[in-house]
Amino acid sequence: MALYNFLCGVTVMILLTPDGCYAVMPACGIRPEGHPEHLPWQAIITINGVINCLGSLITNQHVLTDGHCGFGPEYHTIVSLGRMEIPDPDLEESREVVHVQCNNPTPNSLLTKDRMCLLELSHPVNFTDFIFPVCVAAGDSTIHSGTESWVATGSHLEALVKVSVVGYNECKCSHPKLKEHMICAGDTEEHFPMMDSSLDNLGGALVVDFKGYWTMIGVVSLEPNCLPLKSLKSYSNVAPCADFLTNATASNPPGFAPIQCAGTDPDSRFICPAPGHPKSFMPPRPLPHCPQGCQLEDFDKDSIFGGVNVMRFSPFLLLSVLILSIYGTKW
């Protein structure tokens, strides 16, 4: 009888859930329908009345951005969210920044080793269709070379520019000073002309579409060369800073997405052709298994505790179990 009551309760709860059972629905990474050009997690950061850079909303009270935006107690910093191409005061919300916390700050400034800072807002923002946080790559994420990604531009005309992730070994061939905490994306073959300004999207996000949820894997950082968005560029890697973000946000952590690429990362076998680069004992780099890059694995579909879209047809399965259990009680 106890089992019967339990199965009844579980079945009713699942039947009342649209589209079956969703064990974990992350409150992040959703884009508003009908407005593909709008990024609800994108923040406009204004310092002393001047727009300085972009940021990304990761909780209802925290924005992640690049450390080179220029923060300090003497500056008045405002974060604006929900800003549309045509300003609408009913959609936009603004907050003052009351605290700035950077990972591994240097002794002489607020600039950070990883060039990443977390801004705490004066009070939480209200989540709407036009203001919503982005998901953040979890600390154990593995993102292979060739993974499709997009970089925020700060423009309403083309909000995201599509680029491919480039593995650390291959990227270091073109960027010898690449640090371990960086992640690269862009075109390694084509060379683009320099831009007039390379600070328009400083602090913006490098994201992947992980099972329909926009997930941030990098932050646009300051670099000496003013290269176009589609060229090979380095970004601050978000995943290694998961513990920093968790500790800094205390009881209000961001929505972490455990990105895991299937198969072997082609970058692990990459041999750099640059002169003077240490020779690798690995065999030559094979052709990519998937022409569009690696395929991101879904959350665990076999467990009602492991993923996002889980057990889509579970109501029928549980109804069958329920019927069998009822039938079994008669014997």
User: pTM for the full model?
Assistant: 0.74
Contact 136/254 with Cβ under 8 angstroms? yes
Sign of CA dihedral 303, 292, 257, 81: negative
SS3 per-residue string spanning the chain: CHHHHHHHHHHHHHHCCCCCCCCCCCCCCCCCCCCCCCCCCEEEEEECCEEEEEEEEEECCEEEEEHHHCCCCCCCEEEEECCCCCCCCCCCEEEEEEEEEECCECCCCCCECCCEEEEEECCCCCCCCCCCCCEEECCCCECCCCCEEEEECCCCCCCEEEEEEECHHHHHHHCCCCCCCEEEECECCCCCCCCCCCCCCCCCEEEEEECCEEEEEEEECCCCCCCCCCECEEEEECHHHHHHHHHHHCCCCCCEECCEECCCCHHHHCCCCCCCCCCCCCCCCCCCCCCCCCCECCCCCCCCCCCCCCCCCHHHHHHHHHHHHHHHHCC
Task: Provide φ and ψ at 90, rounded to 5°.
Answer: -75, -20
Measured from the Cβ of residue 224, the count of other Cβ atoms closer than 10 Å reads 7
Say what angle helices 2-15 and 314-329 make with each other, to 10 degrees.
Answer: 160
Residues 6+ apart with CB under 8 A from 197: 226
Backbone angles phi, psi at 15, to 5 degrees: -65, -30
pLDDT computed for residue 104 by the predictor = 66
Domains annotated on the chain, with CATH = 2-21+311-329 (no CATH), 42-121 (2.40.10.10), 135-269 (2.40.10.10)
Residue (of 181, 196, 165, 123) closest to 267 by Cα position: 165
Joined tokens for residue 239: 């995943």
Q: pLDDT tens digit string along 270-309? A: 888 745 544 443 433 333 222 223 444 443 333 222 333 3
Place of tokens 């680029």: 163
Q: Put residue 250 in one of left, alpha, beta given phi > 0 → left and psi -120 to 50 → alpha.
A: left
Instruction: Give the pLDDT of residue 169.
Output: 92
Which pLDDT does position 80 carry in this prediction? 96
pLDDT for res 327: 44
Average pLDDT by stretches of 10, the chain with 331 residues = 42 35 59 82 95 96 92 89 82 94 60 74 94 96 95 89 95 88 88 70 95 94 81 93 92 93 91 58 34 37 30 35 42 46
